[in-house]
Amino acid sequence: MEKKIGKNVSSGAEKVESVEKKVSPEEVNAQPQKKSKAKKSAAPKAKKSEAKKSKKHSTRAEKAAKAEKAESAAAERRIEKAKLKAARKEKKLLKKAELKQKKLEKKAALEEKKLAKKAALAEKKAERKARALKRKAELKEKRSERHAERVARRELLKNESREEKRNRIAREKKEKLALKRRKQEAAEKQREQKLKAREAAHQRKAEDRKHKRETRNQQRKNKQRTPGIGGWLAAVISLGVACLALATVVTAGSFQMSDMTLTAENGYRATLYEMVSASEDMDSNLNKLRVATGANEQRKLLTEILVDSALMENALERLPVDGATSTDISSFVNKTGSYARTLLGKLAKGQSLTEKEMNTLSYLYDVNTRVYNELNDLATHMTASELRAFVGGEEGEMRNKFGEIGRGTHEEPKEAVDAPFSGAGNVGENKLSKMDEITEAKAEELAKNYFNSYHVVKTQYTGETTAQGASFYNFVMTDENEIEIFAQISKNGGKLAFFDTYETCTQKNFDLETCDSLAREFLADLGIKNVEAVWLSDAGMVADLTYVSAVDGVRAYPDMIRIRVCEQKGRVIGMDATHYLFNFDEGRDLKAGISEDEALQSLSGSLKPYEANLALVPVDGEEILVYEFACAYGEDEYIVYVDANSGEEVEVLRVRETAMGKYLR
C-alpha cells in the first residue's frame, strides 16, 4: 500500500512541474483578468441556478402530481375492474341459481306428472274392476235367469205327453228353419252387395285400363319417327329369334313348374283334410266325454283324444302358416293332449273324474268345436287360386282364415254338425284289395267316363297316393269353363273313391231335398244303391250329405259316403266314398242276441229314449251290431249305442240341431 501511495504522489508532482513549465508569462499575467471576469458574471449565474433550481422543483412537483394522478387513475381502473369481476361473478352465481331452480321445478313437474299418471292408472284400474264386477253381476243374473228358465222348462216337460212333445219338437224345428232362412237371406243379401261392389270395381279398372290404352295409342300416333328400313328389319329379326328361344325355355320350365306346383297344392290340400278329420274326431270324442259315466268308455275316449291331438299337431307343422297362428293353434292342441294324458293317468289309478275336470273338458270341447267349424268351412269353400296363394306364402283369404282360427282358440265357439262315425276309417279287411289292378291308361279312361257330363276338355295324371293300405291314381281335369276337378281312381277295381271341384256357388236355386235326389242319382250311376241319408247340412250355398248302406233296415255306418252338391248349379261338386269301398259287404251277420227291452236297461236313468232301431257301427277296428237309441236329456238330445249281444254301452253321440242342418233318423 505504502509503495503505491508514494508512486502516486510523485507522479502528481511531476505532472505539476510539467504544467508549470508549459505555461508562458503572458498566460500567467492574463489569468487574473479571467478571474475578475468570472467574478463579474457570478450574480447572473446564481440567478440562473436559482431559476434552474425552481424550475427543477416545479418539474418534480409536476412529475409527482402526474405520478399521483396516474396512480389515482390506475387505482380507479383497478376498482372498476374489480367491480366488473364482482358483477360477472354475481351474474354467474345468479345464472347457476336460476338453472338450479329450473331443475328443481322440472323435477317437481315430473314428480307431479308421475303422481297424476299413477292416479289416472289407479282410476282406470278401478273403472275396469268396476266394469268387470258389473259384467260379472250381469252374467250371474243372466245365468240365474237361464237356470230359472231351464227349471221352469223341466217342470213343464215333466207333465208333457208324447203328442205334446212331438208337436213341441216340430214347432221348435219350424222356428229354427225360419231363423235359418232369415240368416240365409241376410247372407245372400250381403253376398249380392259384395258381388255388386266387386263388379263395379272390375268395371272401373277396365275403364281405367281402356283409358290408358287409348292414351298410349294417341301418344304413339303423335310421335313422328322415320327409322331406316334396314335397321328396322334387323331389329325385328333379332327380336323374333330371341322371343322364340325364350318361349321355348319358358314353356318347358312352365310345364315343370306347373307339375311341381300342382303336387305341392295336392299335398297341402290332403294335409288340410287330415287336420279337419283329426279336429272332427276330437270334437266327437270331447262331446261324448261330457255324458259318459263308465271308466272304460272314458279311458277309450281320452286315448282317442290324445291320438287326435298328435295328428293335428303333425298336420299343422306341414302347413305354411305364420308363427303366431301356429303358436295359437298348437298351444290349444298341446293343452288338450296334455290334459287327456293327465286324466288317463288318474283313471289308471282307479280314481274318477271330478266335476271341475268335467267342466274343463266342456271348455276344451267348446274351443275345439270352434276350430273344427272354421277348418271345415275353409276346406269346403277354398278355391284353387286361394290355395295357390296360400302355398306361395302370399297374403290371402286362406292365410287370413287361419289367423282367425288361431285367434278363435281364445273365443267362444259355435256349434258344428257332422255325421256319426265319420272318422272311423276301414274296418277289418280292405275290400278293394280283392279286386284286380288296372293301369294308369285304364284309370284315365274310367275318370273321363265318370265325369262324362262335366264337359271335361283336359285330363292330366299327377301321380299316385297310398292311404289306409290302398293305392289311388290322381288326376286333375279341367272343364270348358276352366274349373279344375281333382279325382282319385282306386288302383284295385278302378272305382271313383274321391273327387273335389274348386267351384264357387253363390246362389241357392235347389233345396236340400232336390240336392238329395241329385246325389242319389250320381251314386246310382256309380253302381251304388240301397243307401240311406243319415245327415243333411246346408253350409252356405253347398249341401253336405252323408249316406250309409242300408240292408234289411240296418244302417251300416262303416259304409259311409259323403257328397257335396252345389245349390246354384244343381250338380255334385265333391265326394268321398273311400269308407264305402273299404267296408261294404253284403254277407254280414245282422242277428241280435238280446231284445230291445233288455238293451234299454243299460241306459242311464237320466236319459229318456223315444226311438230305437238296429245299426252296424265301427268300434276299435271291428263292426258291432248295436241298438241305436235316440234319447232326450233336458233340452239336449243324444244317440246311445248298446251292444245287441252283450248289452254294454258302446258309443254315445250328441244330436245337435242347428240352422246348418239336422240329423235324420
Provide the grid cell at 505: 256357388
> Rounded distance, CA 176 to CA 415, Å?
14
DSSP classification of residue 295: H
CA nearest 535: which of 515, 507, 551, 509? 515
Q: Give the number of other CB atoms < 10 A from CB of residue 413.
A: 19
pTM over 0.95: no
How many angstroms separate the CA atoms of 292 and 279, rounded? Answer: 20
Largest CA distance in the chain: 199
Which cell is 125 given? 284400474
Cα–Cα distance, 587 to 312 (Å, whole number): 36
Q: What is the CB-side half-sphere exposure of residue 424 using CA atoms within 13 A?
A: 28
Distance in angstroms (rounded) separating the CA atoms of residues 368 and 336: 9
Q: Enter the C-alpha cell of residue 569.
A: 248349379
Residue with C-alpha cell 274351443?
A: 367
Question: Which pLDDT value is given to residue 66?
Answer: 85
pLDDT at 28: 47
What is residue 148's predicted lDDT score, i.e. its pLDDT? 82
Name the CA dihedral angle for 172, 174, 179, 182, rounded to a multiple of 10 degrees: -170
Name the grid cell of 321. Answer: 302358416
- What is the model's pLDDT at position 299? 85
pLDDT of residue 262: 56
For the chain, residues with pLDDT lower than 70 are 1-48, 51-53, 55-56, 160, 174, 181, 221-268, 320-328, 330-331, 355-356, 384-429, 539-540, 620, 656-665
What is the pLDDT, as a whole number, of residue 638?
85
Task: Please report the pLDDT score of residue 405 as a whole number.
Answer: 66
pLDDT for the residue 232: 46
The span from the CA of 403 to the CA of 399, in Å, is 6
Predicted local confidence at residue 407, as pLDDT: 61
Q: Rounded CA gap, 514 and 563, in Å?
A: 13
Beta bridge partners of 473: 464, 489
Short-list 485, 451, 498, CA closest to 277? 498
Measure Cα distances from 412 to 219, 280, 366, 655 in Å: 60, 18, 7, 20
Torsion of CA 431, 315, 537, 503, to 10 degrees: -90
Say if residues 336 and 287 touch (Cβ distance below 8 Å): no
Q: How far is CA 318 from CA 258, 278, 313, 334, in A?
A: 21, 14, 9, 16
User: What pLDDT, on a 0 to 100 scale, did the predictor assign at position 210?
Assistant: 76
How much is the pLDDT for 488?
A: 93
Sequence spans of domains, the chain: 252-408, 429-584, 589-665
By the 8 A CB rule, do 437 and 495 touch? no
Q: Does domain 589-665 have CATH number 3.40.47.10?
A: no
Q: What is the pLDDT of residue 639?
A: 86
Cell of 139: 252374467
- How far is 120 from 525, CA to CA, in rounded Å? 74
